[in-house]
Amino acid sequence: MRDMEMAISMGDSNYIKLQEEGSDWSYNSSWGNQMAKALEGWFHPGKDLNDSVLDVGCGEGRGVRTLLDLGHKNVSGIDLTQAKVDKGASEGLNLICGDVHTNILGHKSVDYIFTSHTLEHMYDLPLVLKNLIDATRKQIWFIIPIRETKDFVARHNPSHVWPINDPKEFTGILDSLGVEYSDLWETHRLCSELFGVIHCDKQN
């Protein structure tokens, strides 16, 4: 577990409160539109629309709704914040509240996972990646902010308890887990991001 300025552990109320206070990209139309475009590009018509897709860190479910609008029939989401899950569920979306630091998802339980601006919120990122890889039969699509220094996070994104500065920090974790990844590309804006695909069906 990464050393952090506050002591947090699984289920710790301080950690949960910190994440509840963090931003949700579904509230921001600019970020939301960008993520929607990413989803549309990844889940092109060639995908089997009956395959199961899970949005990890779904918030109120904008990603879930986008996938449903693209024609996917088996889409669900999971988030740590009960209030966000309840709001999305009240609108008919299949969302659950849970902590992916645990093995809540089970073994090879979903075909695809999509996760955007979520992994940096995990206090034990290697454990979470291991759990997500174990739960996924095919691929994980991820978007994570990068080039985040500790000073930047302290000022602007305190809920990012595992900030990534160099992309090699992230790919190094994937290498240690013996999983293949591809299609890495980085945006260069005020807030840089790393996009990529983890091939859970091609583990070493």
Which pLDDT score is estimated for 171? 94
The per-residue pLDDT for range 134-193, each reduced to its tens digit, is 999 999 998 888 888 778 777 777 888 888 888 999 999 999 999 999 878 887 655 688
Residue 82 lies in a domain: yes
Output Rg (C-alpha) for the chain, integer angstroms.
Answer: 16
Given this model, what pLDDT does residue 153 score?
A: 76
pLDDT of residue 26: 47
| pLDDT higher than threshold 90 for residue 100 | yes
Q: Does residue 1 lie within any of the structural domains?
A: no
In a domain, 140, yes or no: yes
The string of pLDDT tens digits covering residues 23-68 is: 554 444 555 566 666 666 666 556 788 999 999 999 999 889 888 9
Higher pLDDT, 114 or 31: 114
> CA of 100: how far to CAs of 2, 21, 52, 66, 130, in Å?
17, 18, 17, 22, 10
Tokens read off for 128: 């979470």
Q: What pLDDT sits at residue 12?
A: 55
Helices (H), the chain: 13-21, 29-42, 62-69, 82-90, 125-135, 150-156, 167-176
114 within domain boundaries: yes
The CATH number covering residue 132 comes to: 3.40.50.150
Q: Name the β-bridge partners of 187.
A: 193
Query: How many domains does the chain divide into?
Result: 1
Mean pLDDT, residues 71-76: 91
Host domain of residue 61: 32-203
pLDDT at 165: 87
Listed range (83-87, 122-126, 134-138, 192-196) with the worst mean pLDDT: 192-196
81 located within any domain:
yes
How confident is the model at residue 107, as a pLDDT?
Answer: 95
Q: Tell me, yes or no, whether 176 lies in a domain.
A: yes
In a domain, 19, yes or no: no
Nearest-CA neighbor of 117 among 157, 145, 147?
A: 145
**Residue 35 pLDDT:** 62
Q: Greater confidence, 170 or 21?
A: 170
Its pTM stands at 0.82
Quick check: is 16 in a domain?
no
